[in-house]
Amino acid sequence: CSFSFISSWLPQSVPLRGKHWQTSLLAFRASLPMRAQPKKKKKVDVRKEQAQKDRMKKKIKKLEKAAPEMIPIEDFVTPLKYSDGNRVRSLPSLSFEETERRVLLMKKWSLFKLKQDKAEKNAIQALVEAQQEALEELRLESEELYQAAIRRDKGLFPFERDGPNYTPPLPGYDPPEGKCIDITKVYTQ
């Protein structure tokens, strides 16, 4: 019977089915209510078990040789229920003035962002210059302090900080109870 095969092939680490009515692996054959066949000769059993083991090994080798399946990226696949036509939003089409306004606003925005970026870069440049000056003065003072100052600070990174929110935290706020159940599908290769 296949049950005896599994227990003899795999080491104790695998939980066997029906373990609840099996006390220990050593007292296995005594406690197990063996059904059907009376005791066969040992040679035939051994040969059969060997053959079964080989078959299982061959199957495992075949599976391992096959290329691993690609894990589907769920974000790139639109579910079918969103592809029928009744979901299309019906809004009045844009007037000429509206499109003009949008184009002009985009241009103003790109200019605004350009200025912001330049200002940021200049500020960083100024910071770096100030630091270089400070380091030069320090070097003039003492070489030892300078070497200590340009050493890398290992405790600085990784630097974590919770970003600013729209409102400050409410003191004594009791958030509503609830459990978040994660239903993301996990694929294994």
Partner 1 sequence: TAAAPRPWRLFGAMCLLRLPRITQPLEKEEEEMAALMGQIELEKSHYSDHEIRKLGEEEQLRKRRESTSDDDRAPSKTVIMARDLEEKWEQKLLRFEAAPRITDADKNNNRTSLNRRLDSNLMLLVKQKIGNQELWLLPQVEWQPGETLRSTAERAMAMFLGDRIQAKILGNAPYGIYKYKFPRAIRTEDNVGAKVFFFKAFLQSSDLSQAELKEDCLWVTKDELGDYLKSEYLKKVNRFLLD
What is the contact surface with partner 1 in residues (CB under 8 A)?
82, 86-89, 91, 102, 105, 108-109, 112, 123, 126-127, 129-131, 133-135, 137-138, 140-142, 145, 148-153, 156, 159, 161, 164-171
**Which C-beta is closer to partner 1: that of 46 or that of 103?**
103
Q: How far apart are CA 18 and CA 168, in angstroms?
A: 58
Q: Distance between CA 144 and CA 34 in Å, rounded?
A: 83
The one-character DSSP state at 32 is: S
Tokens of residue 95, six digits: 């007037």
For partner 1, the closer of residues 55 and 108 by Cβ is: 108
Other residues' Cβ atoms within 10 Å of the Cβ of residue 178: 6
For 162, 173, 175, the CA distances from 167, given in Å and listed in that order, are 13, 13, 15
Instruction: State the helix-helix crossing angle for 2-9 and 42-65, rounded to 10 degrees.
Output: 70
- We find the least distance from the C-beta atom of residue 163 to partner 1, in angstroms, to be 9
- Identify the three-state secondary structure at position 106: helix
Of 62 and 161, which CB lies nearer to partner 1 in the complex structure? Answer: 161
Nearer CB in complex with partner 1: 117/137: 137
Q: What are phi and psi of 83, to 5 degrees?
A: -100, 0
Min. distance of Cβ 185 from partner 1 in angstroms?
20
Between 64 and 84, CB nearer to partner 1: 84
Minimal distance, residue 149 CB to partner 1, in Å: 5
Distance between alpha carbon 162 and the CA centroid of its chain, in Å?
21
The smaller minimum CB distance to partner 1, of residues 21 and 82, is found at 82
CB of 117 to partner 1, least distance (A): 14
Using CA of residue 63, residue 65, residue 66, residue 71, what is the dihedral sign? positive
